[in-house]
Structure 1
Amino acid sequence: MPIARRLALATLACCLAVTARAEAPMRGHGGPVRALAVTADGTRALSGSFDASAILWSVEDGAALRVLRSHDGAVNAVALLPDGGLVTGGEDGRIALWRDGSEPERIVVTHAGPVSGVAVAPDGRRIASSSWDGTARITPLDGGPALVRTGHQGNVNGVAFLPDGRLVTAGYDATVRIWPEVGPAVTVPFDTPVNAVVAAPDGEIAAAGADGTLSLLRPDGGLRARLEVGPRPVVALALSPDGRTLAAATVGGAVAIVDRAGAQVRLTLVGPGLPVWSLAFRGDDELVTGGGDRLVRLWNLRTGEPIGPLAMARPADALAAYAGDRGAEVFRACEACHTLTPEGGNRAGPTLHGVFGRRIATVPDYPYSPAFRRLDIVWTPETVARLFEIGPARFTPGTKMPEQTITTAEDRAALVRFLERATR
């Protein structure tokens, strides 16, 4: 082949590759996107997923720059260090520090349960982590001893640093705790479990409730405001760099954009209807979201619209045939992780096809945790109902399922009836 023709074809191939990359969304995870962080200059995003990987993205063109694989289980938390380091926290209880290369530089922390959140201290030299082992830890990155905070009764779901360096934790025990450097924590009680927490530059604390509320606390723990952001649990929070705007995501798929000073919802972002598990601001006027559709999306907060190629068409509704069925509506919170039919296969969770009468942890080719495999449960209408009555963490210790309950007996019964029909 003549050299000129080879050069022309090579040039065309490069152009096509660039075009394809520019038109592609941030699509690469094999499970729901559980965690997000964005660099200060907005050029890079780090995502963690139920598929046990983290991906470093170029935000402008949607290209995956690095895929990080080290965790044995979902990557539930990510953070970016001021010096360019990457931090990932997993369902395996480990927190890894990444620099260059395909392997982590080192394992920074090992919890006895899944890591649920990671925060970087204002000085950039320490990280805080929360875990379902009931503890939070402040760990110096120089290798010094960790400071362990105990006191929550159950899962610690989120962690943040106040500007003065104090630690704030959010718990499944329906409390937010503010930890001084020494002495007991200030404990703020809530009516329902607290799923996430962030701290503003002026020290105000925002806490996400499982009852769909967003609470704004003063630095001493006093309540300044509480507002409803949705009927479904709020599962993720993010704060804009200027501290003026909060984003609160719900398991129902909507994201409330909140003016913090006025404690009012300014805008609601509506996606494809699947849970939004993670949020991060890109500057003050753009938001990055990750959720049950496995995509990372970018939103314009001035218009409330998705930006460019990251806006994907609404996926086919697998539950359309069950319109009007209350059990199908309850199941919508589960469909991001579970399919119902033989051809659906496994997602972040195993397929539910043929679930009734099946012993727990027996779906072929699904990576169950060792603790889960040791459980002696057969799925029946009674055991499925009990799972959602008391919550997965209590009924199936060692599960990878997000913690959630169905509060009414009527909805639990409707879900069971639906599953009996849909999973045959």
Structure 2
Amino acid sequence: MHAPRLWSLEPRRNEGGFDTTMQHPRFLRSLIVATALLTMPALAQMRGHGGPVRALGVLPGGEIAVSGGFDQAVIVWGIPTGTALSVLRFHEGAVNAVAALPDGGFATASEDGRIAVWRIGRPEPERVFTEHTGPVTGLAVSPDGLALASASWDGTARIRPLSGGPTRVLAGHAGNVNAVAYLPDSRIATAGYDATLRIWPAEDGNAPPVVITLPAPLNAVAVARDGAIAVAGGDATVRLLRPDGRERGAVEVGPNPVIALALSPDETRIAAATAGGTVAVVARERGTVLRRLVGPGLPVWSVAWRGDELVTGGSDRLVRRWNAATGEPIGALSLPRPSDPLAAFAGDRGAEVYRACVACHALTPEDGPRAGPTLAGIIGRRIATAPGYRYSEALKSMDLVWDAATIARLFEVGPARYTPGTRMPEQTITAAEDRAALVRFLEKATALP
């Protein structure tokens, strides 16, 4: 039960009817995409994910965006029309990061510990990196476009040539590394849950990183072409640092934690996405909040610039477009808020305990895909057998059936100890009465007709 943490040649079609192979010659593929962009009606709000939109990237040229979700899907969008050009299902966990490559490709990183490099129109990645032993949460491309950096909850950042070759390991954070960025001189900045920003030398060697300790766990980092750094996290403050790590200013954008940062193309503004459902647009030089983009009151997990537009991804499962100069949404903002799957269980203590799991697990078989498998029919079900979900080999080899005792034990000792090899974030429920309440709730809410 996951909980979000802030800190062949035959064409295959998904449920929405989208061709997920797109195996055409390049000129024909380009023609098809261009024709679609010219003739389809524009939709400013892009709907397609079955869970929160965790990651976003806009490819060079600004016509195509790529999103990654808690539903394990990567969606390639035509921005002018708001239509999905392809849905890619490769990852076996939430897609946490997207990075645009200078040559028009893109990279994705996931909770499954894998990084995939893609080309538009191809159904499978052209290259996969598997060095990390934990979820990958951040990606960055080197200034020369030849290397890819990644941040992971295995406590490291790693640098590898995109063409292949040895990987450099940056180890030193005490816990999860949540974000990574390159400085223009090819030094690397990493931000961690240990509340430190670390600036690493460009070349592998014995020189230690510069360590800057800040007041709260860090979730995001962005670097300008002049080397200035912006970093933010749990204390809802964007800190503006000089290239050597000295603090130049701080901007409070709260009250909610900052989840993602993005610099505008002209680098005069910083977009800070928050857990409260707003995006603060900060004037970089003055260190002030210019305006706030106010959404439907749900966490904004990802943000990217497209000229003077902002593209955001949130817990409402939508990719939205905004006019960054005015703070106004492009298209209708008032779309139906996702229904609360727990509304029918108001006052049930077990439902309240389960609320931490609802973003990643559906209770009924007809609900959309999430980062974790559906819990429908879980009582009496053998582990790693829910249809339509990709499990790790470690879980598929376990001899375990979910019942009241095994579910309670899972949350008593934690997923890492009870189900080794799981991608589920580590969590426990300390009170026995709360574990019992959760089990009773699941027995009712997940029973199949």
Asked if Structure 1 and Structure 2 have the same fold, meaning a TM-score greater than 0.5 normalized by the shorter chain, the answer is yes
- Could you tell me which of 117, 127, 132 is aligned with 1:106? 127
- Equivalent-residue separation in structure 2 for 1:393 and 1:55 (angstroms): 30
**Other-structure match for 1:96:** 116
- Could you tell me which of 224, 237, 251 is aligned with 1:213? 237
**Other-structure match for 1:262:** 286
Structure 2 residue 159 is matched with structure 1 residue 138 = yes
For residue 328 of structure 2, what is the amino acid of its counterpart?
E
Distance 1:305 1:354, change over 3 A: farther
- Could you tell me which of 216, 222, 225 is aligned with 2:249? 225
Indicate the SS of the match to 1:137: strand
Unaligned runs of 5+ in 2: 1-34, 445-449
Distance 1:311 1:37, change over 3 A: farther
Indicate the SS of the match to 2:42: helix
**Other-structure match for 1:57:** 77
**Alpha-carbon deviation of 1:287?**
0.7
Structure 2 residue 92 is matched with structure 1 residue 68 = no
Distance 1:352 1:253, change over 3 A: farther
User: 2:95–2:111: 8 Å Cα contact kept in structure 1?
Assistant: yes
Distance 1:207 1:354, change over 3 A: farther
- Equivalent-residue separation in structure 2 for 1:166 and 1:88 (angstroms): 22
For residue 139 of structure 1, what is the amino acid of its counterpart?
R
Indicate the SS of the match to 2:304: strand
After superposition, what is the alpha-carbon deviation per residue over 1:149-198, rounded to whole angstroms, capped at 9, x for unaligned?
11112221110001111100011222110001241100111233211111
Given the two structures, how large is their TM-score scaled by the length of structure 2? Answer: 0.75
After superposition, what is the alpha-carbon deviation per residue over 1:316-335, rounded to whole angstroms, capped at 9, x for unaligned?
44566789999989987754
Distance 1:379 1:87, change over 3 A: same
After superposition, what is the alpha-carbon deviation per residue over 1:55-96, rounded to whole angstroms, capped at 9, x for unaligned?
221100012223333222222211111111221222222222
- Equivalent-residue separation in structure 2 for 1:293 and 1:310 (angstroms): 12
**Other-structure match for 1:41:** 61
For residue 85 of structure 2, what is the amino acid of its counterpart?
L
Structure 2 residue 334 is matched with structure 1 residue 314 = no
**Alpha-carbon deviation of 1:132?**
1.7
Unaligned runs of 5+ in 1: 1-14
- Equivalent-residue separation in structure 1 for 2:244 and 2:102 (angstroms): 28
Matches within 5 A, 1:2-401: 21-23=41-43, 25-99=45-119, 100-108=121-129, 110-181=131-202, 182=205, 183-283=207-307, 285-308=308-331, 312-318=335-341, 335-339=358-362, 347-350=370-373, 366-370=389-393, 378-380=406-408, 400=423
User: 2:269–2:281: 8 Å Cα contact kept in structure 1?
Assistant: yes
User: RMSD between aligned alpha carbons?
Assistant: 3.9
**Alpha-carbon deviation of 1:231?**
3.0
User: 2:52–2:316: 8 Å Cα contact kept in structure 1?
Assistant: yes
User: 2:60–2:104: 8 Å Cα contact kept in structure 1?
Assistant: no
After superposition, what is the alpha-carbon deviation per residue over 1:302-324, rounded to whole angstroms, capped at 9, x for unaligned?
33222126763333445667899
- Equivalent-residue separation in structure 2 for 1:186 and 1:416 (angstroms): 48
Given the two structures, how large is their TM-score scaled by the length of structure 1? Answer: 0.79
After superposition, what is the alpha-carbon deviation per residue over 1:104-123, rounded to whole angstroms, capped at 9, x for unaligned?
22224532222111111111
After superposition, what is the alpha-carbon deviation per residue over 1:29-77, rounded to whole angstroms, capped at 9, x for unaligned?
2222111111233211111122222122110001222333322222221
- Seq. identity, %: 60
**Alpha-carbon deviation of 1:337?**
2.8
After superposition, what is the alpha-carbon deviation per residue over 1:376-396, rounded to whole angstroms, capped at 9, x for unaligned?
98444x975987xxxx88998
**Other-structure match for 1:12:** none
User: 1:360–1:378: 8 Å Cα contact kept in structure 2?
Assistant: no
- Equivalent-residue separation in structure 2 for 1:74 and 1:59 (angstroms): 23
**Other-structure match for 2:27:** none
Aligned residue pairs: how many?
401
Indicate the SS of the match to 1:308: coil
